Structure 1
Amino acid sequence: MKTLQVDVAVIGSGTAGLTAHKAARLQGKRVVMIESGPYGTTCARVGCMPSKLLISAAEAAHAVAAAPGFGVHPGPVRIDGQQVMARVRSERDRFVGFVLDGVEAIADEEKLRGHARFIAPGKLQVDEHTIVEATSVVIATGSSPIVPPEWRAAGERVITSEAVFDWTDLPQSVAVVGSGVIGLELGQALARLGVRVTLFARGNKVAQLTDPLVLQSADEVLARELDIRFQTSVAKLARSEAGDAIALTSRNGEGEEKTEQFEYVLVAIGRSANVDKIGLEKAQIELDRHGVPLHDRHTMQCGKSAVFIAGDASDEIPLLPEAADQGRIAGENAARFPDVQPGLRRTALGVAFTDPQIVTLGASYQQLCVTHPGRFAIGAVSFDNQGRSRVMLQNQGLLRVYAEFGSRRFLGAEMIGPRAEHLGHLLAWACQAQLTVDAMLDMPFYHPVIEEGVRTALRELALHLEKNPDDVPECADCSPGV
């Protein structure tokens, strides 16, 4: 077994790992990046890019279906599932290829293949071939989809989103378990492509929403075209007698059970950080109850140690922009340890590419009910009769915006609405710039645009900020977890 001495060892070569490697390398340090799985980021291989390819195909099919509303009547629609999935796989491979080109450009001596685990602080063993002694270590091991063992025992037709993008054709039916971003995006896309889809949600929550009124709007809007069973859990999964389907037994809020058959069951109930098999007990760092290292989110340092963490492994926000930012901060601090400095953490921004899109930014409603009880005002706009939205026949959804009494500073927003990804970016920039509502209303608004809906919500917010906070009724749903 050989020994390798470096300044910084990075475990993982996803978005966070690649960014950490580059950040440390730019400071002139000796860096090695260790990877046990395939190269190519989660986003490119099985995440944001292939899912958007599937969603784009679904949007094309939906546009044809919606055309008669404008008086445009196309001919019969034929969805070629094999062609749809061929494009998804082809373009997915193209995106992965770009990542692989970047990995290939890294010097061979800075890459090490194999599974790394701590055998002591600052010392890693990679398989049975290399000991890596590092001044600092960055953990960027990513995350994996959660599948309960008893569900997995039902066979290979119980899948996660990662399996979807290797399909060569669209199935006849899919049960989606979970109403988070992944479940909603893929469930709606498959349904629009002609797949019989039923989505099972344990509660009433969808995606990342916490505002009860926006959540109510989202529930109603999405249920208009998608078979969503709220307050319904999965009681049992079993392979069919022929082996070509899964029998799913669900249980609703009244305790009533129903068994249905689906070609696949797509499990989308969350992801867990890949930190359980890297010997953290030997790293001498403190862990939380999930086994994730406790760390400072501004420096990504684990306690006072020379270990840093980034990306999905941190169990914070499993998004590519966050992974990149965390990777850069972790890599820079690992390189200059012990001179650890806080890095830039941007305003939170999350997008679910459903239709309408779901966006949250800045402080959420639930967070503000804890940090600013009785000290924040709310403005809102419904997209039901918003001008440009109605012109496009996309007039569904609700936007709620929040600001602080006294300072009038804009704090955040939650929404479901047309082209919300763009509204979300504008509002996230305003939030990070710490603009007041008055300053935001001074900005130009063209006509007719969806952004005029933002102005309507901000105008209502400004009026509410004029009131005494004591005159604003306490919200009934301000407790954490609502």
Structure 2
Amino acid sequence: MNRLDVDVAVIGTGTAGMTAYRAAKAQGARVLVIEGGEYGTTCARVGCMPSKLLIAAAESAHAMRHSAPFGVHAGEVRIDGRAVMERVRRERDRFVGFVLESVASFPEEDRLRGHARFTGPHTLLVDGHTEVRAARIVIATGSSPLRLPALADGGPGVVTSDDVFYWDTLPESVAVIGTGVIGLELGQALHRLGVRVKLFARGGSIAQLSDPEVLRCATRVLGGELDIQFQSTALGAVQEGGRVALTVADALGTESTERFQCVLVAAGRRPNVHDLGLEHSGLERGPDGIPLFDARTMQCGTSHVFIAGDANDERPLLHDAADHGKIAGDNAGRYPDVRPGLRRTPIAVAFTEPNIATLGASYRQLCAGGGRKFAVGAVSFENQGRSRVMLQNQGMLRVYAEFGSRRFLGAEMIAPRAEHLAHTLAWACQMRMTVDQMLDMPFYHPVIEEGVRTALRDLSRCLAAGESDVDAADTEPGT
């Protein structure tokens, strides 16, 4: 058996792992990265990038079908499913190639292939061929899509989001289990590409929304286009020839069975920490099996182990994984001199149309624990000028601020081009700007951002009047 001694061992070469490797190396440490699967990040291979390629094709088809109100009449729209998926896979492979080139730039002696498991607090066994003794360890093992045991008999027609981007062509029909970000993005894209789609939600949630007013608006807007069945439980699936018979119970317990070519399980992702031998690591773990850690330092307890990216399940998004990796790598490299790293204002976007976005403190967080009330401002985009010009006049924005200081705290929205609105507001939140300072900023005309100004003016009025929002007891939508 081979034996290696290093300062830092990084388990995983996704976004968090690669960033941790570079950060630890920059501290002068001897660093080894260990990868048991394919090189290439979740984002590049099966996440953000291929999903946006599918969404881009869907947006093109949707625009052609809905150009008549502008006086522009297109001919018959024909979707070539094979061509759509060929472009998705080709461009996806291009993005993955950039990641592979990045990993290949690491010195060969810094890379080890194989599945790593703890055999002690400082020792890892890699596929039975190498024992690694590391003074410090970074866990950056990513996550995997959840599979539902109730659908285990559904055969190859039951798939996850990871499988979608290996399709040769588009299916005729798809049931989507879950109305989180992944389910909504893929469900709407497939629908707009001519696939018969039905979405099933266990509760009443939409993406990451917690504000009941925005959630109601999102349910109405998306429900106007998509077939969404809320309060549903998937009971079972059976392969019947080229179809999957999916049995679902509604809120009253009434069971029904429908047949689809595919059942796409988009019920979330699970951190890859359950096959690492953590019982030998000496780390204290929570009920979910994830080591307890400090979100400012990524340090597990007071140990020499750090955890970053989707593996810690704190904010499973690429930009946060990169920040996690930087903090974990820095601290592993200079341990025991552990320091808090830069944690940016939370921001999350679902690339549905309209976009769904949240940033800063969520409505649920602000209502938690029966704390002090906060002021809320709002705007509807139904009559907002630029939105009507583009025939994208759907959705609403709600913004939050603190009484007394008038500091801007966060926002939730479903809105046209919310991916851009969210960035502007997240920057203001991170800079700890007040509502008055934000209203002093320039607003061009006519732009979507004028809707932000309207919401901020409403928020300023509520702050001045001392109007708080509803009681926290009313803030649990979808339960």
* Superposed pair shares fold, TM > 0.5: yes
Aligned to 1:436: 434
Which of the residues 385, 402, 416 maps onto 1:404? 402
- Structure 1 contact 370–479 (Cα < 8 Å) conserved: no
Q: Are residues 356 and 473 of structure 1, via their aligned partners in 2, closer, same or farther at CA, if it must alter by over 3 Å?
A: closer
In structure 1, give the amino acid aligned to 2:334.
Answer: R
Distance 1:163 1:472 in 2: 43
Secondary structure of 2:9's aligned partner: strand
- Structure 2 contact 175–197 (Cα < 8 Å) conserved: yes
Distance 1:85 1:323 in 2: 28
Deviation at 1:54, TM superposition (A): 0.1
- Structure 2 contact 205–478 (Cα < 8 Å) conserved: no
In structure 2, give the amino acid aligned to 1:456.
Answer: T
Aligned to 1:233: 233
Counterparts of 1:158-177 in structure 2 under 5 Å? 158-177=158-177
Secondary structure of 2:291's aligned partner: coil
In the alignment, structure 1 residue 474 sits paired with structure 2 residue 471? yes
Aligned to 1:274: 272
Deviation at 1:474, TM superposition (A): 3.3
Secondary structure of 2:66's aligned partner: helix
Distance 1:330 1:324 in 2: 10
Deviation at 1:481, TM superposition (A): 8.1
Aligned to 1:179: 179
- Deviation digits for residues 379-433 of structure 1 (CA, Å, limit 9, x no counterpart): 0000000000000000000100000000000000000010000000000000000
Deviation at 1:473, TM superposition (A): 5.3
Counterparts of 1:191-206 in structure 2 under 5 Å? 191-206=191-206
Deviation at 1:479, TM superposition (A): 5.6
In the alignment, structure 1 residue 132 sits paired with structure 2 residue 129? no
- Structure 1 contact 85–168 (Cα < 8 Å) conserved: yes
Aligned to 1:377: 375
In structure 2, give the amino acid aligned to 1:292.
Answer: I
Unpaired runs of at least 5, structure 1: none
Secondary structure of 2:289's aligned partner: coil
- Deviation digits for residues 450-469 of structure 1 (CA, Å, limit 9, x no counterpart): 00000000000000001235
- Structure 1 contact 221–396 (Cα < 8 Å) conserved: yes
In the alignment, structure 1 residue 45 sits paired with structure 2 residue 45? yes
Unpaired runs of at least 5, structure 2: none
Distance 2:82 2:471 in 1: 54
- Structure 2 contact 203–478 (Cα < 8 Å) conserved: no
Distance 2:254 2:478 in 1: 26
Q: Are residues 256 and 160 of structure 1, via their aligned partners in 2, closer, same or farther at CA, if it must alter by over 3 Å?
A: same
Distance 2:57 2:473 in 1: 41
Aligned to 1:339: 337
In structure 2, give the amino acid aligned to 1:348.
Answer: P
Secondary structure of 1:167's aligned partner: coil
* TM-score w.r.t. length of structure 1: 0.98
In the alignment, structure 1 residue 212 sits paired with structure 2 residue 209? no
Distance 2:24 2:156 in 1: 41
Distance 1:14 1:310 in 2: 10
Secondary structure of 1:466's aligned partner: helix
* TM-score w.r.t. length of structure 2: 0.98
- Structure 1 contact 399–416 (Cα < 8 Å) conserved: yes
Alpha carbon RMSD of aligned pairs, Å?
1.2
Deviation at 1:188, TM superposition (A): 0.2
In the alignment, structure 1 residue 257 sits paired with structure 2 residue 255? yes
Mean CA deviation greater in 244-253 or 321-330: 244-253
- Structure 2 contact 10–138 (Cα < 8 Å) conserved: yes
Number of equivalences: 479
Distance 1:228 1:311 in 2: 31
- Structure 1 contact 370–478 (Cα < 8 Å) conserved: no
| Superposed structure 1 runs of 4+ greater than 3 Å apart | 371-374, 471-476, 478-482
- Deviation digits for residues 203-255 of structure 1 (CA, Å, limit 9, x no counterpart): 11100000000000000000111111111221221111x2x110011111122
Distance 1:481 1:79 in 2: 35
- Structure 1 contact 161–267 (Cα < 8 Å) conserved: yes
- Structure 1 contact 366–480 (Cα < 8 Å) conserved: no
